[in-house]
Structures are given as structure tokens and as C-alpha cells.
Structure 1
Amino acid sequence: MTVVLFTLGGTIAMAGAGSTGVVARLTGADLAAAVPGLAEIPLDVRDVAAVPSAALTYQQVLDLVEAAGAAVADGATGVVVTQGTDTLEETAYLADLVWPHPAPLVLTGAMRNPTLAGPDGPANLLAAVRVAAAPTARDLGVLVAFNDEIHAARFVRKTHSTSTATFASPNAGPLGHVIEGQVRLLTRPPRHEPLPPVAADRLAATRVALHTVTLDDDVTLVEAVAHGRDGLVVAGFGVGHVPPDLAPALGALAARMPVVLTSRTGAGSVLRHTYGAIGSETDLRRRGLVDGGLLDPYKAKLLLRLLLATGADRAAVPDAFARHG
């Protein structure tokens, strides 16, 4: 039983506070050495890149997923990735969309760096390794282990800028917990079939925009955001509403590219046919917008870009969102 640890950067790996703030300096070996109890699980540590999570790209994440898959093919029981928390909810879902293996791929990080009192990185790393090694965590796709909670990548969100309990799954709750060193799963949601591999050049050439709707929004801004893009995600009010003046413009955009309707609220689904006014979810669907379901805007953007980069046609996009959303 061996768990492979891939380390990126982020708060969990930061040290050396100075006039410019903490910077990523700790290696994977440094991280592992600081965790009591970690030695009981064989760990293969592989440093990837000490970069802030805000600097990561889709392709870097997909390359890491490929390396993690190779580690599993070589016999690893599971894989852990440490990274910054700023984009962890997005990288976890991106990985989940393409991860085909039964073995767990577990992401974690920290909110308090090692120069502060009570850093949470060691506890999160230990929990993540235990989840990756647990037979009960197999066939759950990509997971996030944080604050002794286990979350499915497709549900998890970062909900607070500084709290160590920042990661939550508002629509589903955690899948389980790590209690007294034991992985306790409470529920097992069904997995989706992974998306097909995407060529790097196709991914680089596929661009998707995200527009968050605001009070008295500007139609020209929406059109400018969507200009030159292959798809658009709209984060609407509440259950999927926009100002009436935006509805015709969004309909015109939906005639030439996939436009996915989501909610900016952070939890809950967009509706399908409850409200009927101009700019309502019923009106927008009639104009050709795709129902994003329970997917938040950030996850919808990830899914739409991968779908378009893998050649999904206009009919396949709504079908995929019906399954994933």
C-alpha cells in the first residue's frame, strides 16, 4: 500500500515570512516530516511546482492528473495533491471530470501557513493521505479532504476567505469524516463517466467566458465579455434570472454559441419553468440558454470548456449539463 504525494505550492508549503510576506519554500519531504503519524503509511513524494494556485492552468492540472493516473497504473493505492486553496474547488472538479480510476485522488491544502500558530496543513495532509489509502474511498472520484471532512469534488466550494473550515458542500454536505484516524464514509454518490481526453492545442484554442449578472447590468458589457469566445456561462440572480434588457442579448448569443445559465447564489439549482417574466429562467431557456442545474458558475465554466475542447456539438452540451448538473 503506497500513496503518491504530488506537491504544488500554496499556503500549506509557505515559510520564511519577511517584508514581502510568506513564500512557498517547503518541499514535499518537509511537509511529510512535519506530520506526526504519517510515517505509518508508505508515501512516495514528488514535488511538481511551487506556485500559487492562482497561477495554475487547465493544462497543468490535466498534466498532473495524467501523472497521477500513471502512478495508479504503477501500483499506487491512491494519490494526494497539495496546493493552494484559492482555486482548489476548480482544480478538484476539473480533475474529477477526467479521472477514470477507482483509486482515490485527494486534494488538500491549508488556510494557516506554518509560520502561524495552529497551522492546519499537517492535519489536512494526514487526513488526505488516510483517505487516499482507505479501501472505502475507492470509486468516489476526486475528493477534497479538509478540516477532517471528506468532500466530493463536484459539490465542494470554498466558502470563507480565511476560516480553516472554509470548504463545504452546500448542496450535499460532506461524504464523510476522518475520526480518530479512521475514514468514515456516510454516503456514496454515483460517479459520472469521465470525459474523453482533450488535446492540448484544442484546449488552448477553446475559450469560455463567465459573466456575473448585477443590478441594472450593462448589455454592452455582456456582449463584450462574450466577444471572440466559444461559449458563455451566465451567473444569474437567484434561480436563474437576469434584468429584462439582457434577455434578448443573451438569446442572440445563444443562437451562435452555447450559453449556460447558472445561479450566482452559491447553492441551489437554477429552475426550469416556475417564473415566466422576461429575463426569467423560463424565458431564457426559451431563448436557447442551457440549464446549468446545480452546478455553480465556476464548475459550469470548467465543464463547458472541456466539452467544447473535446468536440461536443450543440446537442451534446445540454445533454452533458443534464447529467452533470
Structure 2
Amino acid sequence: MADNVRRVAVISLGGTIAMTAHTDGGATPTLSADDLVAAVPGLADTGIHVEVHDFRRLPGASLAFSDLLELAVEIDALTVDGVVVTQGTDTIEETSYLLDLVTTDDMPIVITGAMRTASMAGADGPANVLAAIRVAASAEARGTGCVVVFGEEIHAARWVRKTHATSPTPFRSYPGPIGYVAEDRVRILARPGASPAIAPQSAATPVRTAIFTVGLGDDGLLLQALGDYVDGLVISAFGAGHVPMACVDALTDLTKRMPVILATRTGSGPVLKQTYGFPGSESDLLGRGLTSASTLDPVKARILLQLLLMTGADKDQIAQAFSAIS
């Protein structure tokens, strides 16, 4: 193989992109990584050498932290220019950020999938895989961290969200994609700042975390009950970090027992620090010991919190890690 040939590993985890429909029921993951790559028109014309790895055949909703931590170790052992991971879209916003946190090489790690199964008309998997392979092979994408490629858009793992249940272009991010694939060229327009680095081998302590989304009229009773079952909690709060006054006492008690992260449920924008001062406001809650998620949405905040707890980090170390998020 020539020295200038770009080498990309395609790793399959399952999901809709690997699913086919059965006459006696719904679609299930049946296609291997070889099957996925073989179905991509034009791949041979790119000159990119692709090696395939079957890692899991699971729906996205059934992937676990242990699967992704094992995958991170496998990725670290590869000698390639970039990696493409195909999986179910249900958890792409979570798995991409998890991999962003536990992989430190600057080679591109690209997550993609499909909204239509391989047996449906207009299956989107082949186009997404081809674009993902182009990004993984490109020198331009080095140093961007883990990214999600879907519909020719390149999204940073830290910001990407699945915002539609059925659309073939379900991913959005704020402030927007960091790049595009157009006319077979990878174009990077922005680069996110560095994320906290967590060694996957160190994340071995079994813990349980949860997201609690506050709603109109919450009285704190469910928060008190949830506290008996988790080691850490993310509060998905109103606006810039606000909760009902009736929840304040319960949250104050929880902060004495575990790390409690304050995030905004809006999907974009930061948790404020000192704009509002009423009971249950962001300044009140931060003063009671909650930790700001900064610009991380609740889903991403839980990923970081879970990994930190799995490494044995204490409340001060967790607060320091979240304070580094811009």
C-alpha cells in the first residue's frame, strides 16, 4: 500500500443503519460492517483504504457505558488516519460526547448512522457513511475532537443534539455545524475548545446518575425520592438555571450527599451565575452548592458527571472539571 493512501477504520455498533426489515416483525440489526461498506456507491473512487470491524449489533438505545469505554480502548490501539463509528441515532448525542471525553488522539473520530433502514426506499446510510469516511480521512478534520456527520453536516460532539424523531436530517447543534462535506471536500469552519480528558481504563467504579427535568408546579417530593437511588444528579432547569421555590430545600439537602449539576433544559445557551436572585434562581442554587453545567445541555452534563464519578472524582474535582467547560 502506498505511503500516501489514507486509512480509515469503520466500526459498526448496530442501529438503524445496520437494520433490515423482517416479514414477521419490525427492523432489527442484521448487517455487518462489511455489509455497510459494500453498500456505499463511489467509495472505491475515493482511494481511501477502509478496514472494517464488527464491534456490536445493538439498537442505539441499548448501548451502555461499558460498550463505549471498551470501544475507546480499541480505537486507541488502531493505526489508522481516522475512525468512523456507525450506530443507532437514538444515542449518538451521548456516545459522541462520551468518546470525545475518553479519546485524546487528534485523529478524526466520526459518528454516523441512518434514519432509514437498508431495506427502505431512499436509505440514507450509504451517503452518511461515505461522507463520514471522507471526514475521517481528511487532514482538515484532525484536532476537532469527536464529530457527528449526518446529511453532509459536521457537528461537534459537545453541541450536537437529535431534535427530530423521524426526519432524515435529525441533528442540530448550537451555534451550528462546525463544517460541511461539499463536492467531496471536507470544509471545517470552526473548532471547539478542548474537552476534559478522562482515561477510559480509569472509569471503573459502578455508579448511577440521572437527569431530573423540572416542570411547572414541582414540589421537590420526587427529588427527595430520587436521591435515595443515585450517586449524582443533573437538574434540567427552567431558562438560565431556575427551579420552583418548593424544590430548593430538597436540592439543598441533595448537595450535602452528592454532586448536583445545574443545567438548562432549553437546549442552548449557558446557565447564568448572578443575573437573578430569587429563591430557586441560578445564583441562589449555585450558592447552595449546585455545580453549573455551563453550556452543556443536561444529556451531555450527565455523560461528564457519570464518567467523573466512575473515575472516583470527588465533588471538588467534579466542580473543577465543569468549570473548565466554555
How does 1:42-61 map onto structure 2 within 5 Å?
42-61=49-68
Partner residue of 1:280? 281
Query: Higher strand proportion, which one?
Result: 2
Partner residue of 1:173? 176
How does 1:1-150 map onto structure 2 within 5 Å?
1-39=6-44, 40-71=47-78, 75-150=79-154
Instruction: Supply the distance in 2 between the matched residues of 1:308 and 1:244 (Cα, whole angstroms).
Output: 28
1:15 Cα deviation after fit: 1.0
* DSSP-derived class of the 1:135 partner: coil
Partner residue of 1:216? 217
* DSSP-derived class of the 1:86 partner: helix
Gaps of 5+ in 1: none
**Structure 1 stretches of at least 4 aligned residues deviating more than 6 Å after TM superposition:** none
Q: Does 1:259 pair with 2:260?
A: yes
Conservation of the 8 A alpha-carbon contact between 1:219 and 1:245: yes
Question: Between the two proteins, what is the percent identity of the paired residues?
Answer: 50
Range with bigger deviation, 314-323 or 55-64: 314-323
Change (3 A) 1:315 1:201: closer
Change (3 A) 1:222 1:198: farther
Query: For residues 177-207 of structure 1, what are the alpha-carbon distances to aligned partners after superposition, in whole Å with 9 as ceiling and x for unaligned?
Result: 00011101111223234123444641xx222
1:17 Cα deviation after fit: 3.4
Conservation of the 8 A alpha-carbon contact between 1:209 and 1:226: no
Partner residue of 2:3? none
Query: For residues 227-271 of structure 1, what are the alpha-carbon distances to aligned partners after superposition, in whole Å with 9 as ceiling and x for unaligned?
Result: 132211100111111110101110111122110000111111111
Q: TM-score, normalised by structure 2?
A: 0.95
Coordinate RMSD, CA, aligned: 1.3
Q: TM-score, normalised by structure 1?
A: 0.95
Instruction: Supply the distance in 1 between the matched residues of 2:106 and 2:201 (Cα, whole angstroms).
Output: 21
How does 1:150-161 map onto structure 2 within 5 Å?
150-161=154-165
Conservation of the 8 A alpha-carbon contact between 1:212 and 1:235: yes
Conservation of the 8 A alpha-carbon contact between 1:198 and 1:306: no
Q: Does 1:195 pair with 2:202?
A: no
